[in-house]
Amino acid sequence: MQAGGIARAGDAVAAVRRGPASGGTATARPVVHPVPAGSAAGRPAVAGGALLLNAGFAWTLGARGPLDVYLRLVAFGSSTLLGLGVLPIGIKWLLIGRWKPASIRAWSLGYFRFWLVKTVVVANPMAHLFIGTPLYTLYLRALGARIGRRATILTQHIPVCTDLLFIGADSLITKDTYISCYRARAGLIETGYASVGASAFIGEHSVLDIKTAVGERAQLGHASALLTGQMVPPGEIWHGSPAERAPDGTVYQVVPPARCGALRRAWSCVPRLLLLLAVAGPLEAGVASLLVTHSRALLSLLGSPRVTSWPYYREALTGGAAVVFGLTLAGLLIVGPAGRLLSRLLRPGRVYPLYGLRHGVLRAVTRMSNVKFFNALLGDSSAIAGYLSYLGYRLRPVHQTGSNFGMEVKHDVPTLNTVGTGTLVSDGLSMINAEFSASSFRVAPVVIGRNNFLGNGIAYPPGGRTGDNCLLGTKVMIPVSGPVREGVGLLGSPCFEIPRSVSRDRQLGGLSGTPVQRTLLRAKNRHNAATMMLFLLVRWLYLSGVLLIAMLPLDGGSTLAGTLGSAGTVVAELVFTTGYFVLVDRAVTGFRALRPKSCSIYQPAFWRHERFWKVPSIAYLPMFNGTPFKGVIWRLLGVRIGRRVFDDGCSIIERSLVSVGSYATLAAGSIIQCHSLEDGAFKSDYTVIGTGCSIGSVAFVHYGVTMREGSALDADSFLMKGEDVPPEAFWGGNPALERGLRAVPQRAPQAITAAK
C-alpha cells in the first residue's frame, strides 16, 4: 500500500474511533427529486455498442478461409474484452474522479452519476472473470482502491466506492463478503471508508458497513457484521452481528501461509488470459454479433426463411430446444464425473499455495458443481437429493421428504460434504469446504448431523459444533468452538439456544415415516415432475423468442440502418425478457394474489407454492436496481408498492404478500421473505413495510412483519416473524431488536421468547 493510502487509511480508522455521525434513524419522507431519464443515457451506449458489433462482425465476415475467420474473431473478441475491462475505469474517473465521504440524495443528478458508475463497475464481466486472482486486485487499484501487496480478495460482491477502500498487505477477504463503501438509507446514498489492516481476516457471509475498520492481524468471523462506527482492535478476534469480542479459544483464520511470490502470482494469470483470448473471446464475440446484429448472417445460416413462413418459427423453436434440452442433458452428464475426478487431486487437510495447479483444480470443481440452473431445476423436489449424491455428497441413507434441499445450495468441493439422514435444508446454504489464508488454502470436510433443520442463508464451516437433531435458524452463525450442540435450536449471530421445535409445527409436519406420507410423497413427486417440465418449457419458449427477435431481417444495407437495427434488437430483447417473465410470474398463480397459508409440505397448496418459486425467473431484475423502473416491475409482479421507493437490490420472494410504502429505501442484498418451512410445516403471511422505512444491506425480513412509518433496520439484521417495529424506531442485530437491547446479549433469548 502506498504511503498516501496508509495515511488516508489512518484517517478512516480515526473517523471510526470518533463514532458514527448523528442522525442514525430514518426520516419518514426524505427530500426527493425526479431522476434524469436513464433511457437518455442508455440510448447512446446501446447505439455505440451496436455500431462496434456491426463493424467488428462485418470485418470478420470479410475473412478468407477458416483460419482467417478465427484470427479475426480473436482480434475482434480481444479488443471487445479489453474495452469492457477499461471502460468502467474510464467512466469512473471521468464522472466521479475520487470518491469522498458524502451523502447523495436519491434521484438527484449526483445520484445519476453514482448509479451510472456503480452499474458499469459492478456489471463488468471482465471483473467477475478475474475475481480471486491478482488481476482482480489490479482492477480495483485502477479504480482507486488502496490494496497492499499479496492481499487476496475472493468476494464476488465488487466494491463500488473504491477510493474509500483500504486493504492492507497479506490480508484476506473471503467470498460472499459485502464491502461496498456505501449504504442506502432514508432516501440517501451515504459513502464512507472501510479499512482492513495488514494480515487481517474477514470471514464468509460478513458485512463491513461504512465507517468501519479491522485492525492489523485481527479476525472477523463468518456470518458477522461491523456496523457503522465499529472497529476491531489489532490482533483481536470478533464475531456476531453486530460484532463483539469472541470467547477465548475461538479462531477463524486456521490455515498457515505458504510460499506464494510475485512471480507465481503473475504467471498464474497467463493461462487464464490465453484461454480468454483464444477461446472465450472469439466465441462470445461471434455469438453476440449473431444475436444482436442484423446482418442477416444468422438468418442465412438457417436457409433465409421468411418471417411470415412456418420455417422461420420452426428454426427458432428448434434452436431453442437444442440449447435448453441439449445443454441440460450434456451438463448433467459432465458435471458429476468430471467434478468427482478432479476432486481426487485435492487432499483434505493438506496446505497448498494459491495460484498453482491445485488452486486451479479447486476453482474448476467449485464452478463446475455449482451450476445454478440445475439447482433451480431439481431443487425443492425429490430429485435434488439424487443430484447432490451424483455430485459427491454423502447422504445415504436418504429419508426422502420431497423437499430435502431448496434451490440454492452451494459448496466448494461436493465430495467432502456429509448431510445426515432426516435433515431438511432451506435455501441459501453454503458449505465452506475451502479454507484460505492470503497465500494458501486447504480443503476440509463439512458434516451436518441427522434430523436437523436448516433455515435460510446459513454458512456452515468445517468443524461446525452442531450435531444431531438441531434447528439452525435463518442467518445463524454456526459455532466453531465450545461443546457440540445437540437436540436444541440455535438462533442469531453469535448464536444462542432456543427450543428445538414447537407443538404446532410438529402437528403440521408429523406425517414422516407413515404410509400416508409415502402415498402423499408419490403425489408430490408427480406434481414436482410436472413443475420441472414446465420450468424447462418456459425457458425453451423464452430462448426461442430471443432467437426470433435476433433473426428479424431489419438490416437495411447501410451502416446507420444496421446500427439502429442492432440497437433496436437490444431494446426489444430487454422488453421481451421483462414482459415474458412478468407474464409467467402472474400466470403461475392464475393471475391471483397469494394468500397466507399454514399447511404440511404434503398438501397441494404447498406444491403450488413450490411451482411459484421454481417456474418464473427474476434473474433480469438486477439490471433495474437503483432505477425508478424497479418499482414499476415490482408493481407488475404483484407488490403493493408506493411512490418513489428506492430499491438498490432487494429480493422479494412472495411478491403479492408484500406491501411497501412510499419513500421507502431497500438496500442492496436485502431480502423480504413471507414464508418459513420448518420440519415439514409451511407457513406464510403478509409483510408490511411502511412509508419512509429503510432496510439495510443484506438484512432479512421474515413473514408477518410490520415496519411502521419512518422505522429503520440496520445492515445484516434478521427481523423475525411477527415483529412489529414502532414508528421512527431503529432496530438492528441478528435477531433484530430495538437498539440498546443488544448491549446486554444475555437478554436476547428472553426477549425473543417474550416476543413469540
Q: Is the omega angle on the peptide bond into residue 88 within 30 degrees of 0, that is, cis?
A: no
Query: β-strand 671-672 against 651-652: which pairing, if any?
Result: parallel
Q: CB under 8 Å to 41, separation ≥6 — which residues?
A: 112, 116
Q: What three-state secondary structure class fits 529?
A: helix
Q: Is the model's pLDDT at 101 over the cut of 70?
A: yes
600-619 mean pLDDT:
94
Q: Using alpha carbons only, how large is the chain's radius of gyration in Å?
A: 26
Beta bridge partners of 104: 189
pLDDT at 37: 35
pLDDT at 52: 66
pLDDT at 36: 36
In angstroms, the Cα distances linking 136 to 47, 163, 169 are: 29, 15, 15
Concatenating the DSSP letter of every residue in 702-726 gives -TT-EE-TT-EE-TT-EE-TT-EEP
Does residue 345 fall inside a structural domain? yes
Q: Which CATH number belongs to the domain containing residue 477 in this structure?
A: 2.160.10.10
Q: Dump pLDDT digits (tens) for 354-408.
A: 999 999 999 999 999 999 999 999 999 999 999 999 999 999 899 899 999 999 9
Residues 465 and 550 in one domain: no
Q: Is the model's pLDDT at 53 over the cut of 70?
A: no
Average confidence score pLDDT of the chain: 85
**Banded pLDDT at 154 (limits 50, 70, 90):** very high
H/E element holding 417?
A: strand 417-419
Question: How remote is the C-alpha of 678 from its chain's centroid?
Answer: 23
Fill in the DSSP letter of residue 276. I
Q: Looking up cell 413471507, which residue turns up?
A: 674
Which of 12, 26, 15 has its CA nearest to residue 188? 26
Residues 533 and 455 in one domain: no
Residue 183 in contact with residue 715, Cβ under 8 Å? yes
Residue 441 in contact with residue 470, Cβ under 8 Å? no
Domain range for 407 is: 329-498
Sequence-ordered alpha helix ranges (H) in 436-514: 503-508
Which residue would you say has higher pLDDT here, 608 or 291?
608
Number of compact structural domains in the chain: 3
Residues 43 and 125 in one domain: yes
**Banded pLDDT at 755 (limits 50, 70, 90):** very low
Q: Which of 94-108, 125-139, 436-450, 715-729 has the lowest mean pLDDT?
A: 125-139
CA–CA separation, 240 vs 491, rounded Å? 11
> How far from each other are the two terminal CA atoms of the chain, in whole angstroms?
50
* pTM: predicted TM-score of the whole model, two decimal places: 0.88
Residues 728 and 656 in one domain: yes
Does residue 365 fall inside a structural domain? yes
pLDDT at 500: 86
Q: Dump pLDDT digits (tens) for 331-357.
A: 999 999 999 999 999 999 999 999 999
Does residue 620 fall inside a structural domain? yes
Q: Is the model's pLDDT at 40 over the cut of 70?
A: no
Q: CB under 8 Å to 200, separation ≥6 — which residues?
A: 168, 171, 172, 214, 215, 216, 217, 218, 219, 220, 232
Does residue 144 fall inside a structural domain? yes
Residues 394 and 525 in one domain: no
pLDDT at 304: 57
Does residue 388 fall inside a structural domain? yes
Please state whether 23 falls in left (phi above 0), alpha (psi between -120 and 50) or beta.
Answer: left
Q: Out of 122-136, 542-556, 567-581, 660-674, give the one with best mean pLDDT.
A: 660-674
> With 0-12 CB in 10 A as exposed, 13-18 as middle and 19+ as buried, what is 17?
exposed
Q: Dump pLDDT digits (tens) for 231-276.
A: 999 999 999 999 999 999 899 999 999 999 888 998 888 888 888 8
CA–CA separation, 424 vs 138, rounded Å? 42
Residues 340 and 429 in one domain: yes
Q: Dump pLDDT digits (tens) for 542-587.
A: 999 988 887 776 555 555 555 555 677 778 889 999 999 999 999 9
Query: β-strand 201-202 against 182-185: which pairing, if any?
Result: unpaired
Does residue 323 fall inside a structural domain? no
Residues 42 and 86 in one domain: yes
H/E element holding 659?
A: strand 658-660
Q: What three-state secondary structure class fits 544?
A: helix
pLDDT at 280: 76
Residue 38 in contact with residue 632, Cβ under 8 Å? no
Residues 357 and 459 in one domain: yes
**Banded pLDDT at 51 (limits 50, 70, 90):** low
Q: What three-state secondary structure class fits 600?
A: strand
pLDDT at 68: 78
**Domain endpoint, select from 219, 245, 271:** 245
The percent helix, strand, coil of the chain (3-state, each to 5) is 40, 15, 40
H/E element holding 744?
A: none
Residues 494 and 539 in one domain: no
User: Residue 185: what are its φ and ψ, rounded to 5°?
Assistant: -155, 130
Does residue 28 fall inside a structural domain? no
311-334 mean pLDDT:
91
Residues 690 and 622 in one domain: yes
Does residue 507 fall inside a structural domain? no
Q: Dump pLDDT digits (tens) for 728-742.
A: 999 999 999 998 433
pLDDT at 14: 54
Residues 446 and 560 in one domain: no
> How wide is the angle at C-alpha 478 spanned by C-alphas 246 and 373, nearest 5°?
135
Q: Looking up cell 407474464, which residue turns up?
A: 583
Residues 487 and 524 in one domain: no
CA–CA separation, 130 vs 748, rounded Å? 42
Count how many Cα atoms sit within 13 Å of the Cα of residue 554 in the half-sphere of its side chain. 22
**Banded pLDDT at 751 (limits 50, 70, 90):** very low
18-27 mean pLDDT:
39
H/E element holding 106?
A: none
**Domain endpoint, select from 222, 245, 268:** 245
Q: Is the model's pLDDT at 27 over the cut of 50?
A: no
Provide the 10 A C-beta neighbour count for residue 699: 30
Which of 232, 229, 201 has its CA nearest to residue 215? 232
pLDDT at 206: 96
